[in-house]
Structure 1
Amino acid sequence: MCRPEHFTVSYSINPWMEPARPTDTAKAVRQWQTLHDAYVALGHEVHLIDPVPGLPDMVYTANGGFTIGGVAYAPKFRFTERAGEEGPFSDWFAAHGFEVAVPAETNEGEGDFLLAGSVILAGTGFRSAGDSHLEVGSVFDREVVSLTLVDPRFYHLDTALSVLDPVVDDGAEATIAYLPGAFDAASQDVLAARFPDAIRVSDADGAVFGLNSASDGRHVFVSPRAPGFAAQLRERGYEPVPIDLSELLLGGGGIKCCTLELRR
């Protein structure tokens, strides 16, 4: 995670960002701290990367890489406004014992790559390019399932799909939740076939970034603005943990955007 000490919205690279709309950095820090403390209270180990002045989106650490087995596939951002984050994230991984795989292709880390059981779900359409799907599959020697996003509000995979069982036995399917309308018809067919028991989330809950959530397999950290999704989670035996990141949503990010999973 990265404390949003320099958070503001001074440019627009997604539909949520409106530079003319005031932001409150202190409020963003308080809300972020609530998420951080909730992770720690439930027994999770949280590592911090130092925020860098001039990089207001660095708080969205999910975009900073994708890790499995001690290897970190580093990011290569589409927009120049975020390109300055590439060095700090790569340096952090190297300093903390990860083998860094330097990308040739445009990718935005766990924004578009989610580990679901033994397969990597990979989003494209707005940020990460399709060639990065081949590259990430080669780096980790895993099957990659490509999914195409079609609604610009959901520009990263992690805004429209959440993996609820991060760790499953080999060969077992993970449980996921997703917003059908965020994907093209072919991707909806793939998701329905591969994950028949998935939670399909309503447009209303998706529109408030309800799916930009984080799960440890039992607790699901989720926006309080998505009560329908929370009810669906309870029905499946999960425990929703409501966390309000309304200020950070002004930059187009939520709970998962602020959380990069580190897999040794």
Structure 2
Amino acid sequence: MLKGSEATLMPASVGLTFRFMTSAPVRVPVAARLATARRYLMCPPRFFTVEYSINPWMDPSRPVSTEGALAEWSALKETYELLGHKVETIEPQPGLPDMVFAANSGTVVDGLVLGARFRAPQRAAEADFYRTWFLDHGYRDVVMPEKTNEAEGDFTWTGDVLLAGTGFRTDPGAHAEAQEVLGVPVVSLRLVDPRYYHLDVALFVLTEAGPGTRAHIAYYPEAFSPGTQRLLRRLYPDAILATAEDAACLGLNAVSDGQNVVIPREATNLIAAVKAHGYTPHLVDITELRKSGGGPKCCTMELRG
């Protein structure tokens, strides 16, 4: 566990584990994983409900518990804090039930902020509340986009490149805009399954790239176009491949600090896989939040720099 804001080397088994990707086991060396302290922005779901449908997960006819969602969110926030991470919060606003999904409202790299422009009109007002939060908290390099982008919903920082999803929400032109604003290389990935309408429900980073090392990721191949699948195999040949069952419970909407992985409890195959690769899973309940198509990552914007 992290102490305060210091990064600590987390003990993990060093040896050999097995991945059953083929008929014969593949031997994979597992190194000790390093957790680094993170800073997150979250929004309590005090006004959470499902009163419209803008993705396949949302059904306004199903009962939803605001109290249950708040309990899930509180447990998630406490998990981060127990792991030594700093959590900032923004005040929720009435009439914006999806404001809890903070990841959709900003992408922060090296202290530079690219805001969001939502595709669905029901969420459009969220972007300015987050813009105001950044300005009130000392951020001066805040750019609001011209193109539609749903921030960390479709932008995933790997430590050396920004993986950028498109196909359902974020405009392809927003990828070039992100590169210009954030000053980092961008790799476009095409999503093809409407259930996985954002990149952050189809892929997450386990360990960021470092000097001489590439990022380690997990993803669900069938969420992506054939060409994107080939690209991901080329870029990340050692990735963990999630099953359909993992994806269907939003198991890939997970958050990793390089050693600890906060993950929906139903993603049993993925949990076993990340554990076999030397990570420590921390299971959370997202029963209510999932009714709006969100999970741990959707609730968590990372403030980098």
Q: TM-score range by the shorter chain?
A: over 0.9
2:194 aligned partner, one-letter code? P
Q: Report deviation, 1:171.
A: 4.9
Which of 43, 51, 55 is the equivalent residue of 1:10?
51
Moved over 6 A (4+): none
2:145 aligned partner, one-letter code? P
Are the aligned partners of 2:118 and 2:150 in contact in 1 as well (CA < 8 Å)? yes
Within the alignment, does 1:45 sit opposite 2:62 as a pair?
no
User: In structure 2, what is the equivalent of residue 74 of structure 1?
Assistant: 115
CA distance in 1, matches of 2:143, 2:286: 31
Which of 62, 67, 71 is the equivalent residue of 1:30?
71
Q: Report deviation, 1:124.
A: 0.2
Q: Report deviation, 1:117.
A: 2.2
User: In structure 1, what is the equivalent of residue 15 of structure 2?
Assistant: none
User: In structure 2, what is the equivalent of residue 129 of structure 1?
Assistant: 171
CA distance in 2, matches of 1:12, 1:24: 17
1:97 aligned partner, one-letter code? G
More strand by share: 2
Which residues of 2 match residues 92-131 of structure 1 at below 5 A?
A: 92-98=133-139, 99-131=141-173
Return 5+ residue gaps in structure 2 as ranges: 1-41
Classify the secondary structure of the residue corresponding to 1:145. strand
State the Cα RMSD in Å.
0.8
Are the aligned partners of 2:113 and 2:182 in contact in 1 as well (CA < 8 Å)? no
Which of 161, 166, 188 is the equivalent residue of 2:203?
161
**1:52-108 per-position Cα deviation (integer Å, ceiling 9, x unaligned):** 000000000000100011111000000100001011010111111222012110000
Which of 234, 247, 251 is the equivalent residue of 2:292?
251
Are the aligned partners of 1:118 and 1:170 in contact in 2 as well (CA < 8 Å)? no
What TM-score, normalized to structure 2? Answer: 0.85
Query: Percent identity among equivalent residues?
Result: 48
Within the alignment, does 1:57 sit opposite 2:98 as a pair?
yes
CA distance in 2, matches of 1:147, 1:4: 30
Classify the secondary structure of the residue corresponding to 2:131. helix
What TM-score, normalized to structure 1? Answer: 0.98
User: In structure 2, what is the equivalent of residue 149 of structure 1?
Assistant: 191
Q: Report deviation, 1:170.
A: 3.9
Which residues of 2 match residues 208-227 of structure 1 at below 5 A?
A: 208-227=249-268
User: In structure 1, what is the equivalent of residue 25 of structure 2?
Assistant: none
Q: Report deviation, 1:259.
A: 0.4
Count, aligned residues: 263
Are the aligned partners of 1:118 and 1:171 in contact in 2 as well (CA < 8 Å)? no
Which of 222, 233, 242 is the equivalent residue of 1:181?
222
Are the aligned partners of 1:208 and 1:225 in contact in 2 as well (CA < 8 Å)? yes
Return 5+ residue gaps in structure 1 as ranges: none
More helix by share: 1
**1:142-171 per-position Cα deviation (integer Å, ceiling 9, x unaligned):** 1111000000000000000011114x3245
Who wins on radius of gyration, i.e. which is larger?
2
Are the aligned partners of 1:70 and 1:97 in contact in 2 as well (CA < 8 Å)? no
Q: Report deviation, 1:140.
A: 1.6
